[in-house]
Structure 1
Amino acid sequence: MKFNFWGYDTKTMIALGLDANDLAFIQWFRDFKDSGKMESIETVNGTAYYVSYTKVIEDIPFLFKSSTGVEDEIELKKIEATNKKKVVNMLKGNLSKAFTRHEKKEQCKTKIYLTLNANVFTALVNNGQGFDITEIKEEKKVVKLETRMANKKAPSTAGTVKDASPTNDETNSSQNKSINDTSIPQETEDVNDLDNLNINTIALLDSGIITEKCNLIEIDKVVKTWDGLVLHDAITKTLISAKKPNFNYVKKVYDSLLEDGLENAKDNALKSLLTPNM
């Protein structure tokens, strides 16, 4: 067995259940953080860094489905939703053992910030020395941030891609913090579960007709059975005709498109795609 990959200890990787995709994300996180261009905030767990799903997909394209050559708007939305879902699943999976996740409500969306767990990371780059996998708890820790965002960029550190050596920021930020610290607040129920939205709700979000200030859980229940092609037509007509597009308006448009039946609505939607408004 090869003892390490990209400078990360193989045995520690196996113990944590990390795969090549996870290592690619960890290295991307470190490189971006060390560039000094990553938005950050200060938390009780140290400096936490903003992770944009779109940025992850753009910077590590080989992990995701390509949209090259795809012109159909609906298919592009599906690919985008699939790729974002993969990022969500990665962060909820075994990567959650290497990071503390911080969520902050800001304007119209929930922003995700991550703190790299110094104990786990040091084990990854130090042949697993001083690391006890039994200390890892399975439950996911999510910190809800109530403090005002620092709105600053991350300071540049001395980390390199070649040897994966931990920087001072990575080793010191949570050096004295237990990876299963029970003082970390748990996820509350009053926050929209953005990670499990269906593709129709995502399409409405992307169109700007709804925002994350809306009750997405209830909207998700309504639109999950809607036909995607007809919804696309309804969104287009809503954006063209409504002075202030909103969910109630697009629902009325969608319902009106279905008056002659689903199949007719789908045929008309397809015709609209083939002969767009000029």
Structure 2
Amino acid sequence: MTVAHAPTSLSADELKLFQALFKDQIGLHLSEGKKALIAARLGKRIGELELGSFREYHRLISSRGGEAERQYAIDLVTTNETYFFRETKHFDFVRQRILARWPAERPFNVWSAASSSGEEAYSVAMLLHDVLGERDWSIFGSDISQRVLARARRGLYPMARGEKIPPDYLRRYCLRGQGEYAGQFLVSKALRERITFSQLNLTALPQRLGPFDLVLLRNVIIYFDLPTKINVVNNVVRHLKPGGYLFVGHSESLHGMPVALETVVPSVYRKPH
């Protein structure tokens, strides 16, 4: 599709319109520093739709009947970089501190709460299968973006995305693409069948979810302001089993937040029994 007349500059007033909309819809805090990103990602879409301005696009996605395009805009703005086995110390912790002492008869249920295109969920699945084998374990992956969830469900990635997967796991759990899929790999069906992906808004979670033994809420709360962070973490903790673990990103912290969790090590928390 030819992109025509795509606006490139976003005014301060237009930025405020999108800040308010995304905050209201998904709790996302868009700082002034995100102005160029919003202009680039939404500007191209505005050109594709042959609209005249950012303000006109805002009218479209905030209108009744604009739900599908609003979801498209959310997908554009919230898609963030992820990769397999990101923050390896967390995987070491799961193996050594959780799974090593996990009772054989107990199921182990994990929630990848901001799963993006699935790399985190599949990384955990490789570890769980390696340690627990065919025992009772499952993973639930959620994200606000339908577009990345579609990629996650497929489990098909460029070979370059697999560079941080341990070589043994790459051999055991990933199938090298042939023909039209050359240069890509597919996560094995055995792992894909253990994972369910679904769209969820972390600021408005359903009452019935889980409960989970481990929740990965990594590298997402940095996109919320403090009141929204507290709301999201408390929403998530409600779906964590007593004694269950919550991980946030290594650059994130829950320090000073009124949440019912105990700090185990930096970025790892536990819900009291």
- TM-score > 0.5, shorter chain as reference: no
What is the TM-score normalised by the length of structure 2? 0.23
More strand by percentage:
2
Answer with 1 or 2: which has the greater Rg.
Answer: 1
State the TM-score, normalizing by the size of structure 1: 0.22
